[in-house]
Amino acid sequence: MNKMFAFAVAAAVSFSTLLVAQEEKKVPKDSVRVSIPGCSKGYVFTAARRTSDEPGSADIPEGMHLRLNGPKKLMNEIKAHEGQLIQITGLMKKGQYMPGVGIGGGVRVMPGGSPTGGGSMSSSPMMASPPSIDVEGWRPAAGECSSR
């Protein structure tokens, strides 16, 4: 009887440990969990067009670059699949990928081009870095990476 009880307790503990390990990390109030299809090259991820079978979960426009942050082991796994379409899941700060400034009612104001045709400081690639995502996981996705 004691052996049966000990086995039942051990099974319950291991089952509860398994459930805890599968729980997702809580999302901070200033962040959002997103899933984005695309391609990686080093620590840069380029968002791909979403299809009906791979919709993603954020309004990240196709071609947008994201900086990948994550544990070294996870980043090495992603790096091993460079050139293949994958879907990453992770946390991004809210509003980080929304262009312009929200003025309410779903309206956003974005800067336009210079009337003289000259460049502005905000469009300089040296001044701005791409938004970042704290990668929690990835999986293969259907499709191919474009060669652009």
Neighbours of 132 (CB within 10 A): 18
User: Which of 29-33, 42-46, 49-53, 109-113 shows the lowest per-residue confidence on average (mean pLDDT)?
Assistant: 109-113
Task: Convert the pLDDT of each residue in 79-121 to its tens digit.
Answer: 999 999 999 999 999 877 655 555 666 566 666 654 555 444 4
The CA distance from 118 to 44, in Å, is 28
Phi, psi of 50 (to 5 degrees): -85, 140
Residue 19 pLDDT > 50: no
The CA distance from 118 to 63, in Å, is 24
The CA distance from 116 to 114, in Å, is 5
Q: What is the assigned CATH class of domain 27-97+129-148?
A: mainly beta
Task: Convert the pLDDT of each residue in 124-138 to its tens digit.
Answer: 444 467 899 999 999
Nearest 5°: the CA angle 121, 94, 141 is 95
Asked if 78 and 138 touch (Cβ cutoff 8 Å), the reply is yes
User: What is the predicted pLDDT for the residue at 115?
Assistant: 54
